[in-house]
Amino acid sequence: MYRICVIPGDGIGPEVMEAALTVLKAMDLDMEFYPALAGNACFQKLGTTIPSQTVDLALQTDATLFGAITSVPGQRSAILTLRKELDLYANLRPVKSYPGIEALYPDLDFLIVRENTEGLYAGQEEYTPDGAQALRVVTRKASRRICEFAFRQAQNKGFKRVTAVHKANVLMKTDGIFREAFYQVAEEYPELEAEDLYVDAAAMFLVKNPQRFQVLVTTNLFGDILSDEGAGLVGGLGMVPSANIGDKNALFEPVHGSAPDIAGQGVANPTAMLLSVVMMLRHLKEEDEASKLEKALLMTLKEGRVLTPDLGGDASTLKMAQEVQGHLESW
Ligand code: ATP
């Protein structure tokens, strides 16, 4: 039996989580769900964005499903805390186009691997007498670990090329270390092509010629920005899932945030959350169930009868999830 920690969060988080649980409970899986609090609503209730019980539950369960949270300046970030406490060092963000969904490019399938524990999100930011400064932390150990992860992913998923993205011409020391680690790891994978690009060039290629990419590996902030750019290529933020992986724990969440502008209306696209569930099932080695859910979702998207407004339909989040659930029986 799998034990899953469930953190719905704020805004559309609980709405897409309801969709995910509706579908998961209809599947042939022995799974128990443990709800936990985090985010801004949690702060209003308990005075903390991430109670220790939530961290403990995430540590003890087989995987965590995370909806979305509203980040309020000055509050401790619940998701950054979880990534740190669970040592979820690799953030995987697949960018894939799906038939039936209007996308800038119809044939994309690449993976962004983002370092998740340091870089400019190391949490070392402070006011100075005339402004503020943030520390960009890049260690050899974390750089090597994320590059190894990226090459392993490329190998397992049948990709042929890994691209390191950095800005070593300006950030010579931090990104110098990152690039050096990348090429050291690359030597262990002679069958894979290794290249590196400056982040500005990578951003341009992502718009102009994204088909050239297979696996991208990069530091925290660059990965955050480029993966939203990737989402824009394949139908928007409602379409892109992510996995946060460590050696002992894993957390799965849509790339989008809590979308306060549409929260409470029941119109959020559940695709990113459902694809995050697919990633979780693959991580748990439930390949058959993962592929069944993926196909049911693809069928829903391709038929285009029951879609949320961002995809051109008029269905609610739950209606679209129920349509996916209905298609599960086809496989
Ligand atoms: P946060 O502060 O929590 O990051 P945000 O609004 O700044 O929230 P997102 O939640 O990522 O950032 O949303 C950005 C835009 O994308 C919003 O206009 C939102 O309506 C849209 N969006 C995000 N997720 C979805 C979704 N699942 N379905 C439909 N639209 C979405």
Mutate to test the pocket of ligand 1, among 256, 301, 317, 319 (most ligand atoms within 8 A of CB): 256
Long-range contact list for 298-303, CB < 8 A, 24+ apart? 298/98, 298/99, 299/327, 299/330, 300/324, 300/327, 301/98, 301/99, 301/100, 301/101, 301/271, 302/98, 302/99, 302/100, 303/100
Distance CA 218, CA 210 (A): 16
In-domain check, residue 250: yes
Q: What is the pLDDT of residue 301?
A: 93
Q: Hey, whose CA ends up nearest to atom 5 of ligand 1?
A: 259
Residues with CB under 6 A from ligand 1: 11-12, 68, 70-71, 237-238, 256-262, 268-269, 272, 310
233 Cα–ligand 1 center, Å: 16
Say if residue 78 is in the same domain as residue 127: no
Q: Hey, whose CA ends up nearest to atom 31 of ligand 1?
A: 238
Q: What is the atom index within ligand 1 of the atom nearest the CA of 228?
A: 11
Among 1, 65, 69, 66, which residue's Cα sits nearest to residue 30?
1
Give the residue numbers spanning the domain of 70: 1-96+237-331
Q: What token pair was written down for 177?
A: 């270390």
List residues with catalytic annotation: 121, 167, 200, 224, 228
- Characterize the bridge pairing of strands 250-254 and 63-68: parallel
Amino acid at residue number 98 = Y
Radius of gyration, alpha carbons of the chain: 19
CATH number at residue 15: 3.40.718.10
Q: What token pair was written down for 49?
A: 């964005």
User: How many independent structural domains does the chain possess?
Assistant: 2
For 192, residues 6+ apart whose C-beta sits below 8 A from its C-beta are 151, 154, 155, 159, 160, 161, 162, 186
- Answer yes or no: pTM beyond 0.75: yes
Q: What is the pLDDT of residue 263?
A: 97
In-domain check, residue 262: yes
pLDDT in tens, 171-220: 999 999 999 999 999 999 999 999 999 999 999 999 999 999 999 999 99
In-domain check, residue 264: yes
- Characterize the bridge pairing of strands 215-218 and 161-166: parallel
In-domain check, residue 104: no
**Sign of the dihedral through C-alpha 248, 194, 278, 104:** positive
Q: Hey, whose CA ends up nearest to atom 26 of ligand 1?
A: 238
pLDDT in tens, 60-99: 999 999 999 998 988 889 998 999 899 999 999 999 998 8
What spatial distance separates the first Cα and last Cα of the chain, rounded to whole Å?
Answer: 23
Q: What is the atom index within ligand 1 of the atom nearest the CA of 261?
A: 20
Q: What is the pLDDT of residue 73?
A: 87
Say if residue 88 is in the same domain as residue 117: no
Say if residue 241 is in the same domain as residue 194: no
Parts of the chain with a pLDDT under 50 = none
The H-assigned helical ranges of the chain are: 13-25, 40-46, 52-60, 78-85, 140-157, 174-186, 199-208, 220-233, 271-283, 287-303, 317-328
Of 187, 216, 233, at which residue does a domain stop?
233
Q: What is the atom index within ligand 1 of the atom nearest the CA of 269?
A: 28
Q: What is the pLDDT of residue 105?
A: 84
Query: How would DSSP label each residue in 231-295?
Result: HHHTT-GGG-EEEEE-SS-EEEEESS---TTTTTTT----HHHHHHHHHHHHHTT-HHHHHHHHH
Q: What token pair was written down for 297?
A: 């979702």
Say if residue 158 is in the same domain as residue 269: no
